[in-house]
Amino acid sequence: MRHTDRRTLLKSGLMSVAGIAGLPSLAAAVQEVSTPYKRPRLKITDVRTAEVRVHGYQVHVRVHTDQGIVGQGECTDAAMGTVPLIRSFGRQLAGQDPLNVEAAFERIRTSGVFAGAQAGVYVTALTGIEIALWDIAGKALGVPVHQLLGGKVRNRVRVYCDSGAREMIPGDEQSKARIQQIQQLGFTAAKIDIDDAADPARFDRVNWTASTGEIDHMIAKVAFTRELYGKTFDLAVDMHARYDAGTGKRVAKELEPLKLMWLEEPVPAENIDAMRDIRESTSTPIQCGENVYLRWGFRELLEKRAVDIIAPDLQKCGGLLEGRKIADLAHTYYVPVAPHAVTSPIGMMATAHVAAVIPNFLCQEWHWIDDLDLWRNWVKEGEIIEKGFITPPDRPGLGVEMNEETARKAQVPGTPWFEPTPQAGGRGGRGGD
Ligand code: MG
């Protein structure tokens, strides 16, 4: 019998099929067998976790595949309690194609409609996996995640330094040193907190109606910080969703002369009408979003013009493609996006890939100034913020890899470190794509 190679055999087979199926089918089939490009075929084999505590509590996620490619993700803030969910989602995903990120996301999201899939821990768990799937997709296809999300509209992503509250005391030398440090690091924007449960002018430990004395202290703190940074430096102020609407209005009004970049969460985001009332009462820009999930969470906030700026946290609100969709929704209302971010360089870089592709990006948070040793050694690539900017790399995937020796220093005691999931490897999955 004459030797026939695989391609010849396929083509001869296709010729006979052509007679039945016609020319368009033939063209498509020939394209399939003759193109030099072949989409890689991968299957998810396991999803593993590691829990750390640095600025709050974070869960790192690794999605393993049958071809050795491992994707990494990170979830935060609502991460407490995500590990059993992530393991359960991992069992659902076993055997599936990790490159079909939207399909994997939607299966898990819609299968949890009665299990809390609208917000909170459920969405945060899903978020950690979603980010890891993008890392796999980029590594498998040899492109950076920003390319998969639509391609860059900017090369550098502006980062602001969240310096917290403790040191921003008027006249205090430590506070001055902190502000100097932030400026020397090259940042052009920062955020401070003005909610203070220990304020001496507080009369009640439960109710958060601020007294005149408390409000005076808040304004003095911001004025002091604003003066030291100077007028060209952008300053944001966070109230951490603790106060009532009347306090929010008073503070926003008194801060107007200080020309803030934004006032964050004067009230919780759960009552959109209350947030809108504050926004309508002041020229101080109002921001919220770190406690809002998925597009559906942001829809009414935007429709009612309740905020000037949204701050989705891409390590909890649904992930990178969901973040892009939320940003696009905001763009239709001409609302800019300033992603909330308190994670390691892995989560920060994941956020930066999205920030690089959305036209309406404003700036991205960074919150590890008190953990600089961990920050600078968490990934093998070292420091990722250069003079207040992140440049998302063109390396495949997220472009950063965990340095485990450093990360394990922050491991939550008694928790597993990327250990294989019991019963993973196909059982419980819904089959491939
Ligand atoms: Mg905040």
Q: What is the mean pLDDT of residues 274-286?
A: 98
Q: What is the number of alpha carbons within 13 Å of residue 258 lying toward its C-beta?
A: 25
- What's the confidence (pLDDT) of residue 25? 61
Residue 27 pLDDT > 80, yes or no?
Answer: no
Q: 427 CA to middle of ligand 1, Å? A: 40
Residue of higher predicted confidence among 321 and 174: 321
What value does the mean pLDDT of the chain take?
90
The token duo for 117 is 């899939």
- What's the confidence (pLDDT) of residue 426? 44
DSSP conformation class of 335: -
Q: 236 CA to middle of ligand 1, Å? A: 10
Q: 402 CA to middle of ligand 1, Å? A: 26
Q: 412 CA to middle of ligand 1, Å? A: 24
Per-residue pLDDT band for 36 (boundaries 50, 70, 90) equals: low
Per-residue pLDDT band for 43 (boundaries 50, 70, 90) equals: very high
Q: 317 CA to middle of ligand 1, Å? A: 14
Q: 76 CA to middle of ligand 1, Å? A: 13
Q: 428 CA to middle of ligand 1, Å? A: 38
- What's the confidence (pLDDT) of residue 33? 54
The answer to whether the beta carbons of residues 42 and 93 sit under 8 Å apart is no
Residue 20 pLDDT > 80, yes or no?
Answer: no
Per-residue pLDDT band for 166 (boundaries 50, 70, 90) equals: low
Q: 365 CA to middle of ligand 1, Å? A: 10
Q: 265 CA to middle of ligand 1, Å? A: 7
- What's the confidence (pLDDT) of residue 313? 98
Q: 241 CA to middle of ligand 1, Å? A: 8
Q: 382 CA to middle of ligand 1, Å? A: 27
Q: 108 CA to middle of ligand 1, Å? A: 28
What ranges do the domains of the chain cover?
44-143, 148-398
| Strongest mean pLDDT among 73-82, 195-204, 258-267 | 258-267
Residue 431 pLDDT > 80, yes or no?
Answer: no
**Alpha-carbon distance 62 to 75, whole Å?**
11
| CATH no. of 148-398 | 3.20.20.120
Which residue, chain included where needed, has tokens 């601020």? 210
Q: 72 CA to middle of ligand 1, Å? A: 25
**Alpha-carbon distance 341 to 41, whole Å?**
33
Residues that place a CB less than 5 A from ion ligand 1: 238, 264
Residue 265 pLDDT > 50, yes or no?
Answer: yes
Question: What pTM, to 2 d.p., does this model score?
Answer: 0.89
Sign of the four-CA dihedral 222, 339, 364, 175: positive
Q: 235 CA to middle of ligand 1, Å? A: 13
Residue 11 pLDDT > 50, yes or no?
Answer: no
Q: 219 CA to middle of ligand 1, Å? A: 18
- 44-143: which CATH topology? Enolase-like; domain 1 (3.30.390)
Q: 272 CA to middle of ligand 1, Å? A: 16
Q: 230 CA to middle of ligand 1, Å? A: 23
- pLDDT tens per residue across span 341-374: 999 999 999 999 999 999 999 999 999 999 999 9
Tell me the percentage of the chain whose pLDDT exceeds 70.
88
Q: 185 CA to middle of ligand 1, Å? A: 22
Q: Please choose, from the candidates 181, 132, 172, 164, the residue with its C-alpha nearest in 3D space to the C-alpha of residue 320.
A: 132
- What's the confidence (pLDDT) of residue 24? 53
Helix, strand, coil shares, percent, the chain, to 5: 40, 15, 45
Q: 332 CA to middle of ligand 1, Å? A: 24
- What's the confidence (pLDDT) of residue 424? 45
**Alpha-carbon distance 349 to 404, whole Å?**
17
Per-residue pLDDT band for 433 (boundaries 50, 70, 90) equals: very low
Beta carbons within 8 Å of 95's beta carbon, 6+ residues apart:
43, 44, 426, 429, 430, 431, 432
**Alpha-carbon distance 295 to 330, whole Å?**
10
Residue 429 pLDDT > 70, yes or no?
Answer: no
Q: 19 CA to middle of ligand 1, Å? A: 65
Beta carbons within 8 Å of 16's beta carbon, 6+ residues apart:
none
Residue 23 pLDDT > 90, yes or no?
Answer: no
Per-residue pLDDT band for 170 (boundaries 50, 70, 90) equals: confident
